[in-house]
Structure formats: C-alpha cells, structure tokens
Amino acid sequence: MANDSVSIVAAGHTQFGRLSETTLEDLIVQVTRQALQDAAIDAAEIDAIFLGHFNSGLVADGFPASLVLQADPALRFKPATRCENACASGSAAVQAGINAILSGAAELVLVVGAEKMTSNSTAQVTKALAGAGYQNDPEEASLSFPQLFGLAAGQYQERYQSPLSTMAAIAAKNHANAMSNPLAQMHKAMTFEHCNAVSESNPLIAAPLRLNDCSLISDGAAAIVLASSKRARQFRREVQIRGTSQVNDVLPIVQRDILAFEGPQRAIVTALRKAGTTLADIDFAEVHDCFTIAELLIYEAMGLTPRGEGHRAVDEGIVQAGGRLPVNLSGGLKAKGHPVGATGVSMHALAFHQLTGDPIGVAAPDAEFGLLFNMGGMAVANYATVLQARRA
C-alpha cells in the first residue's frame, strides 16, 4: 500500500575536513550509528538503506553500500543500494529513499552520504571530479570543473557585468557563517577585501576564479532516517518533506546556455509548486555553492532577482544571516566542506536540525520552511527539496 508523505525523523553528521586517520568505512559506520541513536530505534526496524557515494576513483572501495551493515549486526540482510549522480549523489540517495516509502515498499529508510577525498592530491581529485563532465568532446573533456565555472564567470561578465566582487562577498558570507558551525571544515573568517583580491594566499585557479571562489576537498559523512506518515508521528522530532524535484539536463555544455541554469530553475520551481509554497514562504536555503559563481547563478534561478542582477541578493542583505532569505547558514560547500557523496544528505541533516529548533551553527529563528538545492556536474543533475517543520 502506497504512503502519502515522507518525513525526516533523525539525523547524524560527522565533522567535515581532512580526516586522515578515518577510512570511508569508518565514516559510514560512525554516521549510521549517530542516526540510529538519534532516532532511538533498533537497527532491525530499518527496511532499506541507500548510500550516496560518487567515488570516481577517489578510493578503492567500488562496492560500498554494504559497508553500512558494519554499523550494527541487525542491519545484515537489509537491502542496501549505492546511488551515484556526481556531486548530487547524496540527494539521489535521499530521493531513492523517499520513493521507496511513497511506493509502500518501506516504512523506515536509512540514507547515508559519504566521501573520502583528502587521501588524494589536489590534481588527482580534480581529475576524478572531471569525470562528471562530458567525455566525448575532446575540448570539453579537457576542462576541469574550476575551468568550466571560470568559463561561466567570464561569460557572465561579457553578458551582464563583472561578478567578481559579488563572488567575493559570497565567499566572505559563507566563511562567516561557517565560524558558528562546529562541523564545518574551515573555521577561518575571510574578509571581502581578501576574497576580492588575487594574492599569494588567494591565487587564480582558473581565471577569473580565485582560490576563495572554490569549494573545499573534504572527507565526511551524513545520514538521515526517513519515515512514512504512519511511523513519523511516533518520533520525538519530525520534519515533513513537502516537495521534491529531480531535473536532469543534457551533459554537453555546448548544447545549452550555461548561465541560464535551466535545470536548477526547473527543479526549484517544481519543488516549490509541489510543496504548495512560494519563495516568499522559505525561511532559509542551503544551496550548491561548489564555486561562488554557482551560488550567484542559483540566486537568479531561484527567482530572488532577475537574470544578471544576482548581486542585489548580496548587496541588499537578502541572503545574509538575518536577511529575508539567508543562504548557506552552514557555511555552504565553500567553508563547511564538500565531500561530494555526502553533500546532499548533509543539507537535509542540517535543515532537519534547523527546523526542529536545534540548529548546528547559525540559526534561522522560528523557521518553518527550508529550501535545499544540490547539483551534480555543471547544472546537469539537479535536486530541490522543500521541508516543513512540524507544528504542534
């Protein structure tokens, strides 16, 4: 029998960072135990497991779904599936868990996202992530993701105006937010002036992108427990998933306008519509700032500003902590960290804490609705979620 809704009822989250003494298995086991403890359930009650994990050669573990079973003997023989959709692999796992419950195949689902990246050099990580780009065009295949998003920043300047000062302001904002997040990878304030100037400590990475325009190479994991409406009321905390959307675009960038961010726009608009909400209802958002230009383009895709005017979201304080729609209170991928398979699950875990009145880091006071947007590739795999706090 199909279920009519799905809620998040528990969450776990490791520290993000350079966790040199920790293996992928360690991360998965740690966060699974955290989530089960938070849910106050026996592992035997879990009906299905979904793991978000990109890998692309980052680790030797090519078959990690059953590593979740290492967390508790009662998980043995549970169905466990790995989900991969580039940097949106975590949200792919969340969506698979939601679908399992809505279909009636499960009542309680454990979703884990994990990635171990820092045992590789920067060059190795850059090459692994580039595997999420289009490989059948030699010119595109030669571009790293910093180069792809640098191309977007260059096109933005040609079409509208220079985005560099706004990108620097986004970086400074997200670093400031991360200072309050004990789980964030980087606890270092960055001034606008530092982020806006090319220097020895902020060199050009892929012109015009500077180091502080780029997200971090990270290890980490996050987990959530999903429940059907029937089961959710049995838990002490509940956040309802009001609307979700997955939109995939074509992979070759030559076939689309990379500044339009049509996939992100469609995903966000659809999730809001399914939730019966508008952007005006949203109290905070966690979005995929893999590069600062991406966060700027997401402002426009969300409808916060018209095309080419994303700077207003920053200039007018809309996206700042305490603003009308604060974005990336966690510090975002920019400063919280970006263990790619964990990112989408992390967004859901931290939003769960926000909406249950137990924020990890900067609070969005009395928040009722949260918007999450997780992206794989250059706006190729796009996932949006609208969450609502349970009100007594």
**What six digits make up the tokens of 74?**
């009662």
Q: Is the dihedral of CA 191, 195, 312, 357 positive or negative?
A: negative
Contact 183, 13 (CB under 8 A): yes
Tell me whether strands 48-52 and 108-115 are parallel, antiparallel or unpaired: parallel
Q: Which residue in 181, 212, 161, 211 sits closest to 315, CA to CA?
A: 161
As a whole number of angstroms, the distance between CA 267 and CA 273 comes to: 10
Strands of the chain (E only): list them: 6-13, 48-52, 80-83, 108-115, 204-206, 209-210, 220-228, 239-248, 284-287, 369-376, 381-389
* 195 a catalytic residue: no
* 87 a catalytic residue: yes
Q: Which residue in 129, 145, 176, 203 sits closest to 335, CA to CA?
A: 176
Contact 356, 63 (CB under 8 A): no
Kindly list the distances between the CA atom of residue 204 and the CA atoms of 44, 143, 193, 331, 380, in Å, as whole numbers in the listed order. 51, 16, 15, 22, 26
Of these residues, 13, 311, 338, 353, which one is catalytic?
338
Q: Which residues neighbour 227 within 8 Å (Cβ) at sequence distance 6 or greater?
A: 6, 7, 8, 9, 101, 107, 108, 109, 234, 235, 238
**What six digits make up the tokens of 155?**
């096109």
Of these residues, 83, 87, 195, 290, which one is catalytic?
87
Give me the active site residues, please.
87, 338
